[in-house]
A and B are shown apart, each in its own frame.
Chain A
């Protein structure tokens, strides 16, 4: 006996409903955006305020304190914003690397059996995590500018190295046109290390013999360029900083603003990372450590080969948000005079009056940077994820 199931009316069909709701939501968003944008444009036109991104190609007319690429006041606003972005990226990349290193050490130290080490690590975490990062930035900046002498009485801890409230000045090598050979040697060393690691892994899998890859790798990466440099007859002159007029000329300098920002962001974020690392290690069952020790692995090997790979799966997702936080917190730089993206964009907004375009640009750039970090970390997370066999 067969009877057709009553046909579901289309408005009760799950698939159709799902599509319908999505169309409605997208429609509402588009309508709202259209309303906001057209209203804004009308208002701007009514107030005789220029719109558009044409200002980006105009001459900026202001100077920027530090820049990884040459920047002149005659350059365009677009280039000024690029300089700000590069400054932000430099601080963010260095901050992420340093805070990960410090955070890992502190996180492991907090679990140490040594009472003093564990207490010191707890003290570090509890203090730095609970003080607003802006205050910490101002503290480091004040410490450097008020604590160090002026350029005329600069401290001279090493020959040709000067430390003053204008920053750290140190000599840089003046390459005699052979830097590309040394760089090539560096890349050769890196490629060699990569191959060596693969070979050592395969050999260990086949024979069980362990090759000291870390030491050999460091030797290759540092040794090859050094050998190349010596083979070329060590042609480098040092370009040493010298006190001329108001300040040091020559060599390389690291500004107090940069140091204060990097120190503040790194130490602050490291305290959060330490907690993430600690929770990751605690999440690994103690039986794993005991089993590894029973196999005869050394303490360091247990941490590196057994505990950390498992802890990483817990650590990486929250670590991503700390990296994002560090990058976004770098926008506090204007409080201590480091020309980051926000600082330069704000100046641009003020000189041109194009607030809406400027803020839109800022939002787009931060969104892109955040998504890039997030994408990289998801890729890494997938790579370290437990593979079911």
Chain B
């Protein structure tokens, strides 16, 4: 398995080296000419990016891919999904193997600068937590001094974990396993006292892999801020603008109460924002380089942000995550669409 991903790195490095002239044009033009979108997603994280029981990709991050395809081509199915591990994802984007990365990726300054990426609006606010067996009788993270902690390699998680223990003058032993399934298996077998990851991911691991989910508890402390967002390469502003405003459009639609079911009833309303969003007042689509009904197609085919949230990670899903920070700004959350005008 290790060798496979090494090969993948080599392959992407080689393709960065050899195939570069193919991406000489801007990403926007390349996607348009190709007629479909190459979207980098998780290899399988329930709620964010995973194939459903019919083999179709589904999840909060997958919905961003579909929304961009709907805006670009008027068809949310024109997406080729590229499953990527944490170790492959940035190289795949850098080398042009994918057009955008929508894979619960945390925005950090280093990724934004040195790795040559631009991040769209945050579509999920998370924080890193700890999952521990109840029988350890640990109530907060400060009691984890000396613990063995299971962690995935090569993520901000690994660094936050180290920072947290260093800041609190505590020690720990990491067990670093590349595949999430193997890592979780080691934790549930008792190899580690705690497993750390983003709280949403811990909920997903607990619901999917624990023999009895009630025996495990997520500690109350979140030791980091993990804003997840869609990433594109530096250097194509038109493409970056489109991805950014597609996400804002789904936020705005929820704020205005426009859903995939009722959107047609909003046609002909006098609210100028809604008129602009539905493309009845032209200009916005032309500026973005797409059809004027781009936002209409997004909401009609994929739904607004709230619909996507409820369907994939909210109360109606297996993860049952409360809206929390991911509620609209006027309902106590951080989801805030910039003015669409």
Contact of A49 among B115, B158, B174, B191 (CB under 8 A): B115
Q: Are B94 and A335 in contact (CB under 8 A)?
A: no
Q: Are A47 and B94 in contact (CB under 8 A)?
A: yes
Q: Does residue B142 face the partner (Cβ distance < 8 Å to A)?
A: no
Q: Are B174 and A63 in contact (CB under 8 A)?
A: yes
Q: Are A350 and B153 in contact (CB under 8 A)?
A: yes
**Segment of B182-190, B255-263, B316-324 engaged in the interface with chain A:** B182-190
**Distance, CA A138 to CA B179, complexed state (A):** 12
Q: Does residue A289 face the partner (Cβ distance < 8 Å to B)?
A: no
Q: Does residue A256 face the partner (Cβ distance < 8 Å to B)?
A: yes
Separation in Å of the B234 CB from the closest CB of chain A? 5
**Distance, CA A334 to CA B179, complexed state (A):** 9
Q: Are A336 and B147 in contact (CB under 8 A)?
A: no
Chain A residue nearest to B145 in the complex (CB) = A245
Chain A 140-168: CB-based contact to B (< 8 A → 1; otherwise 0): 01100110001000000000000001100
**Distance, CA A377 to CA B112, complexed state (A):** 49
Contacts A73-B166, A347-B158: A65 and B116 contacting too (C-beta < 8 A)? no
**Distance, CA A14 to CA B77, complexed state (A):** 65
**Segment of B12-20, B32-40, B238-246, B265-273 engaged in the interface with chain A:** B12-20
Q: Are A48 and B159 in contact (CB under 8 A)?
A: no
**Distance, CA A331 to CA B163, complexed state (A):** 28
Q: Are A333 and B17 in contact (CB under 8 A)?
A: no
Q: Are A332 and B172 in contact (CB under 8 A)?
A: no
Separation in Å of the B158 CB from the closest CB of chain A? 5
Contacts A347-B154, A349-B87, A350-B87: A334 and B173 contacting too (C-beta < 8 A)? no
Interface class of chain A by DSSP: helix
**Distance, CA A204 to CA B16, complexed state (A):** 67
Contacts A145-B186, A336-B182: A351 and B235 contacting too (C-beta < 8 A)? no
State the total of A-B contacts with C-beta under 8 angstroms: 156
Q: Are A335 and B1 in contact (CB under 8 A)?
A: yes
Q: Are B16 and A43 in contact (CB under 8 A)?
A: yes
Q: Does residue A337 face the partner (Cβ distance < 8 Å to B)?
A: yes
Q: Does residue B294 face the partner (Cβ distance < 8 Å to A)?
A: no
Chain B 1-27: CB-based contact to A (< 8 A → 1; otherwise 0): 111011001101100111010000000
Q: Are B116 and A47 in contact (CB under 8 A)?
A: yes
Q: Does residue A321 face the partner (Cβ distance < 8 Å to B)?
A: no
Chain B 164-187: CB-based contact to A (< 8 A → 1; otherwise 0): 011000001111111100110110
Contact sample, A vs B, 6 pairs, CB 8 Å cutoff: A36-B17, A245-B147, A257-B175, A331-B3, A335-B177, A349-B154
- List 4 additional A-B contacts (Cβ < 8 Å) besides A61-B159, A346-B87, A349-B87: A49-B94, A63-B162, A245-B145, A350-B153
What 9 A-B pairs have minimum CB-CB distances, sorted nearest first?
A350-B154, A48-B116, A337-B177, A145-B189, A47-B116, A353-B115, A145-B191, A43-B20, A150-B190
